[in-house]
Structure 1
Amino acid sequence: MEAIRVEALSKKFVLNNRPKMLKDWILMNDRQKKKEFWALKNININIHKGESVGIIGRNGSGKSTLLKIISKILYPTLGSIETFGNVSSLLELGAGFKQDFTGRENVYLNASILGMNKQEVDKKFQSILEFSEIEEFIDQPVRTYSSGMYMRLAYSVAVSSNPDILLIDEILSVGDSKFKKKCIDKIMELKSIGTTILLVSHSDSMVQRVCDRLIWLDKGEMVMDGISEDVMAKYSEKMI
C-alpha cells in the first residue's frame, strides 16, 4: 500500500539577477532581470506504507525542497504529489509557532494543525512536556526560547500525534547528545509500529541506522534509489 506518490515532479524558482551597477539594471530587460532555477527535475518516487526512506545529496541538491512539497509548504511547478494518511513534519524549528504565545499555547496550536483535538492534547500534554524537558519554561513566551528549546517542543508535539507519515529534515542537528539519542529512539519506535518515515540528514550513520532505502539527489535530479547500503556505497565513492 502506498504512503507517498510523486510523479514527474519539478520545481522552479525565479531568482532576481541584481547587477552591481544601477545603469546595468536600468538597461536590462525583464527577462534578464530574472533567472530561472529548477530545484527539482522530473522526480518520480513511490514510498510504501511502513518504509523508512532517507534522502541524501550535496547541499543544494533539492532534498529540503522535496520534503517541503510533500508537506505542502511549497507546491510543484510541474507534476503531482499524493500522500495517503496523516502527515507530521519536522522541517523547520518552531515553524508555525506564535512568538508571543507561551509554550503551552503553542502545543495546543500546533497539535490542532496536526489534526489532534483538545481532548487528545489534554491526555498527551504531560508526556509531551516530559519528552521536551522544558517543564519550567512551558508557560513562557516562545520568543524567549533558545533554538534547542524550540526543537525539543516542536519534536515532542510532532511525534505525539502518532502520524502515518513522518517527515524529518535535519531536525536532530540541534540539541545535546542525550536528547538526540532519545529522539532517535522515538523514531525507531515509530518505525517499529509501521510509521512511514522520510528523512533528510547529512549524518551517514543516522540514515543507515534509520533507513532501509535511500534516494540520492544531485542538482535536482535523481541519481539512484535503492537499498541503503548500496546507495550509500556509491554516494561515498562519488564524494571522495
Structure 2
Amino acid sequence: MPKVDVEVNRVSVKFRLDSEKIDSLKEYFLKLTMRSIEYTEFNALKSIDFKIHNGERIGIIGHNGAGKSTLLKTIAGVVKPTEGSVVVNGSIAPLLELGAGFDADLTGVENIFLNGAILGRSKKYLEEKFDEIVEYSGLGKFIHTPVKNYSSGMRARLGFSIATKVDPDILIVDEILGVGDENFQIKSSKTMKEMMTSGKTVILVSHNLAQVKQLTERVIWLHEGEVRQIGKTNELCREYKDYMDEILNKK
C-alpha cells in the first residue's frame, strides 16, 4: 500500500458572517467595543474525512458553494480547520491564487526566495533553480522591479513559475489556470499536464468534467460542505452529471 500523502481527519470549517449592515468604520468599532455585533455562522465544511495516497490523482467536484475551494485551502494550510486536523506528508505547490503571498515592496528576485522558502525550499535549492524560474516566467529585466509595479498577469506568471519549478510532491490545483498572455497560457497548460501525469500526488478542483475524467482516477463529490460520495472518476462523474441535469430540468 502506498504511503498516505494527505490525511483529512473529520475536518470542519466555520466562518462568522455579519448579520447586520454596518455603514462606517466608526460604527463598526463602536459596536465591537460594546460587543453588539451580531453574527451568523456558516458551515463551509462539515466533518470531512478521507485519505489520499502517494501518486494518486484526485478530483474534487460539486456545485458552486459546495466547499471545494475551502477544502483545497485547508489542505494547503491557508485556512485553519475549526475542528479536526489535516496531515500532509511532503511539499505542496498550491496553484490557487497565484502571487497572493508576494510582498509587494520586494522585487521579483526577493519574492522568489521568500515564496520558495514558504513552499519549503532552501536558499541553496532556489539559487540552483533561479535562472529556470526567471526564464520560464518571461519577466526579463522586470525581475529586479518591485512586485507592486507588476500587472496581475506578471504576478501570476512569477507565482506559477515558482510553484512549478520547486518540484513539489503534492500539486493542488483550483481549475486548470490560464495565466499571462496566450503563449504563456499554452506553455503553463502543457507544464501542468506534464506534472499531473508524472506520478505526483494531484488534487484538482474543476467544473470541467471532461478534464476531471482525463486527469484523475478517483473523485470526491462535495455537497453543501459534506462528502456526498467518493469513488472512481468515470462512475462518479456520470452520477454527478445526472444529478445536475435533474436539478436544471426542475428549474
TM-score by length of 2: 0.84
Q: Of 204, 211, 214, which residue of structure 2 is paired with 1:209? A: 214
Q: Distance in 2 between the 1:211 and 1:107 partners?
A: 30
Q: Distance in 2 between the 1:220 and 1:153 partners?
A: 32
| Residue 143 of structure 2: aligned partner | 138
Q: Of 8, 12, 24, which residue of structure 2 is paired with 1:6? A: 8
Q: Distance in 2 between the 1:82 and 1:223 partners?
A: 22
- Alignment size in residue pairs: 235
- Tell me if the contact between 1:93 and 1:147 (Cα under 8 Å) persists in the aligned partners: no
2:22 is equivalent to residue 17 of structure 1: no
Q: Secondary structure at the match of 1:167?
A: strand
* Superposed counterparts of 1:134-213, under 5 Å: 134-170=139-175, 172-213=177-218
One-letter identity of the residue aligned with 2:84: G
TM-score by length of 1: 0.88
CA displacement at 1:171 relative to structure 2? 6.1
- Tell me if the contact between 1:93 and 1:171 (Cα under 8 Å) persists in the aligned partners: no
Gaps of 5+ in 2: 246-251
| Residue 92 of structure 1: aligned partner | 97
Q: Of 214, 223, 227, which residue of structure 2 is paired with 1:218? A: 223
- Tell me if the contact between 1:92 and 1:171 (Cα under 8 Å) persists in the aligned partners: no
One-letter identity of the residue aligned with 1:113: I
- Tell me if the contact between 2:197 and 2:215 (Cα under 8 Å) persists in the aligned partners: no
One-letter identity of the residue aligned with 1:125: F
* Superposed counterparts of 1:29-108, under 5 Å: 33-108=38-113
Q: Structure 1 pair 103/19, CA: closer, same or farther in 2 (3 Å)? A: closer
- Tell me if the contact between 2:179 and 2:188 (Cα under 8 Å) persists in the aligned partners: no
One-letter identity of the residue aligned with 1:199: L
TM-superposition CA deviations, 1:33-75 (whole Å, max 9, x none): 2111100011111111011112122221111111111111111
| Residue 248 of structure 2: aligned partner | none
CA displacement at 1:15 relative to structure 2? 1.1
CA displacement at 1:218 relative to structure 2? 1.6
CA displacement at 1:187 relative to structure 2? 2.6
- Tell me if the contact between 1:151 and 1:171 (Cα under 8 Å) persists in the aligned partners: no
- Tell me if the contact between 2:44 and 2:67 (Cα under 8 Å) persists in the aligned partners: yes
